[in-house]
Amino acid sequence: MASFDLILLVLFFFFLPWCFSQAQMLSSSQSQAIFRIRRALEYPSGTDGWNRYTNFCYLPKTANFSLTCSNNSVTQLTIVGDRPNIHGVPVRHLSENFSLDSLFTTMSHLSDIANLTLVSLGMWGELPTKVDRLKSLEHLNLSSNSLYGEIPTQISRLDKLETLDLSVNFLKGSVPDLTRLGVLRYIDLSVNRLGPEFPSLGENLAVVVLKNNTFKDNLPDELEAMHDLQLFDSSHNSLFGSIPSFLFSLPSLEALDLNGNSLSGALPTTLSCGASLTFVDISRNDLVGKLPTCLRKSTTKTTVVYSWNCLEDSSLQHISSYCQQKPVKPLAVMPTTIVKKEGEKKDSKNLLGLLLGIIGAIVGAAILIASLLVILSNKMRKKTRDQQPMILPKSVPDKNSIQNLPVTVSSVAGATNGNHMSPEVRFGMLEQNPYRVFQIEDLEDATDNFDRSNVLHESSKFEVYKGRIEDGSAITIRCLQLKQKHSHQVLIQHMEGFPKLKHRHLVSIIGHCIADNKDGNTTVYLVFEHVSNGTLRSHLTEWRRREMLKWPQRMTAVIGVTRGIQFLHTVTTPGIYGNDLKIDNIILDHTLTAKIQNYRLPVAERKKNKFSAELSFNATEEKGKKKHGDKEDVYQLGLIILEVITGKSFAVEADGDLERLTGALEDSSEEDLRNLTDPAIHGTYAYESVKTVIEVALNCLSKEAIKRPSIDDILWNMQYSVQIQDGCGSSEGFNFC
């Protein structure tokens, strides 16, 4: 009997930790949400080593990551990255795949989260309106990212919010009315572009930090009701008017910083300072008169900074005229009440009516004249175009003989309205500036008159120049000299599909220019965005860049290339195939987003003339017309995937390496697979994830084109491998899956 009791006791203590851990285990939906958040934030520091068995409630807290649980739910989540926004200059953004809206959709599954801190993660985008779904939030810190746009009004619905930190971002516009947030105690909106109106704040705030914004307003009287206010910092704005005297005597105020504004007038000599006040900075304003007694060093222990005003009997001040002659700031004109006599008011109204009448007549006449000029100009342009003889171009463009015609994208053969595209394809289409027709002068300015120092590439068919247009954007220009006699309208018809080639995973075409010259030669200039962060191959082979591409980043790049190919195959009818998908033609931008360059341009054929063959900008033009042209792209994608996995270059016929990979798969040997993979990614991938990707690559490299998978199937399997990676840990042994 005693031995039986002993066995029960041992079993009790054996299962006790397990029962306790189960009591603290997150629900499956919340665990999945944490994995999705890590993936959305592109695997920030402190989040490696997770797998499907990870109990998040017992993870040790680090400087980069901490999570707290209560009743099987996440109540606190802190992730601090290494992508800070330093005083308005972001170090590194998350890639273009990142979506702040999607992140907050995932966050909404953490229904009990009260403390959310996502700092220095490179997040970008507009703060979504669905932020109010996090109804339990008490502390929100999204500082030192690259958030832009306005703060959504829905944030004022978080009635449990106690602290709000949105500092060091790119937020702009008016701050929502926060007076309804009755328990809000701390707010930091510093280093943004908020303004011009001073925000409406709650009465219970203890800390208000609004420095380095664009507030151009008076300090409101509502501040007098903030009896709990301890720190008020509104420095480096454009505040104007006088400083309310009550601000110095708020009962709890310890620090007041108003330096670097345009505050003016004299402070009352009888000004009263609160007993808690220990620091005041009113420097670099337009204050005049004498410093009040309670702010003088001889009579107070408060540290007071008051230099560079126009104060009397004080050192380090401007002369008095400096503060009297300051120009009027925008929105700084205060309403003035002037009492006039009855007759003066009537005369003023008559004068105002006369002035408005004269101005209205002038504006109306100007509009009429402008309309007539536009009509006359259109008629003259049409007449000139109809009568213009065919011009044979020359090699060097002549400014006086240039004609640029607008692009017309019509629903004709070869173009498509995109209705047949999947939502994923349409999602990747960039919302950039409209396709532009450049003037030759624009391109000459951008390239320093096509200086030879700006040549990036030369061939028998075309030249490529680098340049920078007037808005500062870097561009590349492909110059093709045509030989046949033709009209500009025919040229544009052949190029009608070009404006559609804008996608986040393409080096997108942004415009063109057609130049005619005196000796009869026509030059076509195609303008592309310029991406200069190196190729995918350079990131795999150069040791400094190589360390940036671990397995998750390589997967993201491959999926980006796949989406770019998917877009090319569906943007026109028929699709764009035979795109010369060498790994050297895959460019990574500063966010490591993969972009395909040197893809085939869709030149529309009309009436079987010889012109379409002449308007060819890449050597793979004919390859795209072969049977199974799409499968050729699939084959080349397979080679790219193998190089991403192994870090080694593959020739088109890489039978030896393919046999080794096939053998590793057939034997299910993790050790063989480890020996084949790039050492730079060891410890960052799950075995099943890599195995899935290799299977995709080998299917792409099938010798029979018809057996190669479709681009949609490839994308599905690649995304599936990412899901495997999310559910598995990253370890040297790859034993989690």
- Say if residue 577's pLDDT is above 80: yes
Average pLDDT taken over every residue of the chain: 77
User: Which pLDDT belongs to residue 61?
Assistant: 86
| Helix pair angle (711-727, 629-646), 10° resolution | 20
Domain encompassing residue 456? 388-530
Give CA–CA dist 482/479, Å, rounded: 10
* 4 lies in some domain: no
* 12 lies in some domain: no
Within 10 angstroms of residue 180's Cβ, the number of other Cβ atoms is: 13
What is the DSSP secondary-structure string of 440-471?
HHHHHHHHTTT-GGGEEEE-SSEEEEEEE-TT
- The model's confidence at residue 414, banded by pLDDT at 50, 70 and 90, is very low
What DSSP designation does 251 have?
T
* 652 lies in some domain: yes
Beta pairing class for 89-90 and 85-86? antiparallel
Q: pLDDT tens, 113-163?
A: 999 999 989 899 999 999 999 999 999 999 989 899 999 999 999 999 999
For residue 196, whether the previous peptide bond is cis, meaning omega lies within 30 degrees of 0, is yes
Give CA–CA dist 416/436, Å, rounded: 20
In a shared domain, residues 135 and 165: yes
Q: pLDDT tens, 451-477?
A: 888 898 888 778 899 998 887 788 999
CATH number at residue 592: 1.10.510.10
- Of 479, 503, 530, at which residue does a domain stop? 530
- Say if residue 19's pLDDT is above 70: no
Mean per-residue pLDDT for 43-66? Answer: 84
Give CA–CA dist 194/89, Å, rounded: 17
Mean per-residue pLDDT for 643-667? Answer: 66
**Residue position matching structure tokens 């010369």:** 580
CATH number at residue 483: 3.30.200.20
User: Which pLDDT belongs to residue 658?
Assistant: 62
Q: Are 76 and 114 in contact (CB under 8 A)?
A: yes
In a shared domain, residues 328 and 397: no
* 190 lies in some domain: yes
In a shared domain, residues 37 and 129: yes
Q: Which residues pair with 112 in a beta bridge?
A: none
Q: Hey, is 689 helix, strand or coil?
A: helix
- Say if residue 377's pLDDT is above 60: no
- Say if residue 616's pLDDT is above 80: no
In a shared domain, residues 651 and 692: yes
Give CA–CA dist 33/38, Å, rounded: 9
CA end-to-end span of the chain? 44
User: Which pLDDT belongs to residue 341?
Assistant: 37
Give CA–CA dist 46/34, Å, rounded: 13
* 459 lies in some domain: yes
In a shared domain, residues 563 and 653: yes
59-73, 220-234, 597-611, 623-637: range with highest mean pLDDT? 220-234
| Backbone Cα Rg of the chain | 33
> Where does 225-282 show beta strands of DSSP type E?
231-233, 240-241, 255-257, 262-266, 279-281
- Say if residue 589's pLDDT is above 50: yes
Q: Are 283 and 259 in contact (CB under 8 A)?
A: yes
Furthest C-alpha separation in the chain: 116
User: Which pLDDT belongs to residue 521?
Assistant: 78
Can you read off the two tokens belonging to residue 295?
């702010």
In a shared domain, residues 512 and 555: no
- The model's confidence at residue 198, banded by pLDDT at 50, 70 and 90, is very high
Within 10 angstroms of residue 127's Cβ, the number of other Cβ atoms is: 23
User: Which pLDDT belongs to residue 602?
Assistant: 82
Which of the two residues, 36 and 340, has the higher pLDDT score?
36
In a shared domain, residues 404 and 510: yes
Can you read off the two tokens belonging to residue 315?
């050192």
User: Which pLDDT belongs to residue 367?
Assistant: 59
- Say if residue 672's pLDDT is above 80: no
User: Which pLDDT belongs to residue 18?
Assistant: 46
Q: Are 442 and 462 in contact (CB under 8 A)?
A: no
Give CA–CA dist 30/37, Å, rounded: 10
Please tell me the least confidently modeled range out of 1-5, 396-400, 524-528, 655-659: 396-400
* 281 lies in some domain: yes
Mean per-residue pLDDT for 257-266? Answer: 94
In a shared domain, residues 557 and 639: yes
- Say if residue 237's pLDDT is above 90: yes
User: Which pLDDT belongs to residue 192?
Assistant: 92
In a shared domain, residues 588 and 469: no
- Of 488, 510, 530, at which residue does a domain stop? 530
User: Which pLDDT belongs to residue 404?
Assistant: 33
Structural domains of the chain, count: 4
| Helix pair angle (629-646, 655-667), 10° resolution | 70
User: Which pLDDT belongs to residue 116?
Assistant: 96
Give CA–CA dist 654/634, Å, rounded: 16
Q: Which residues pair with 651 in a beta bridge?
A: none
Q: pLDDT tens, 326-368?
A: 544 433 333 333 333 334 444 444 445 555 555 565 656 665 6
- Say if residue 262's pLDDT is above 90: yes
User: Which pLDDT belongs to residue 6?
Assistant: 58
Q: Which residues pair with 149 in a beta bridge?
A: 171
- Say if residue 205's pLDDT is above 70: yes
Mean per-residue pLDDT for 317-325? Answer: 81
Residues 60, 66, 69: CA angle, nearest 5 degrees: 90
Q: Are 288 and 309 in contact (CB under 8 A)?
A: yes
Mean per-residue pLDDT for 403-409? Answer: 32
CATH number at residue 50: 3.80.10.10
Which of the two residues, 103 and 550, has the higher pLDDT score?
103
| H or E segment and range at residue 284 | none
In a shared domain, residues 542 and 492: no
* 344 lies in some domain: no
Mean per-residue pLDDT for 689-709? Answer: 88
In a shared domain, residues 466 and 492: yes
Please tell me the least confidently modeled range out of 280-284, 444-448, 583-587, 723-727: 723-727
What is the DSSP secondary-structure string of 565-607?
HHHHHHSSSS--------GGGEEE-TT--EEE-SPPP-----T
- Say if residue 385's pLDDT is above 50: no
Which of the two residues, 368 and 202, has the higher pLDDT score?
202
In a shared domain, residues 510 and 481: yes
- Of 317, 334, 351, at which residue does a domain stop? 334
* 372 lies in some domain: no
Kindly list the distances between the CA atom of residue 211 and the CA atoms of 216, 231, 307, 608, in Å, as whole numbers in the listed order: 12, 12, 19, 66
Give CA–CA dist 462/457, Å, rounded: 8
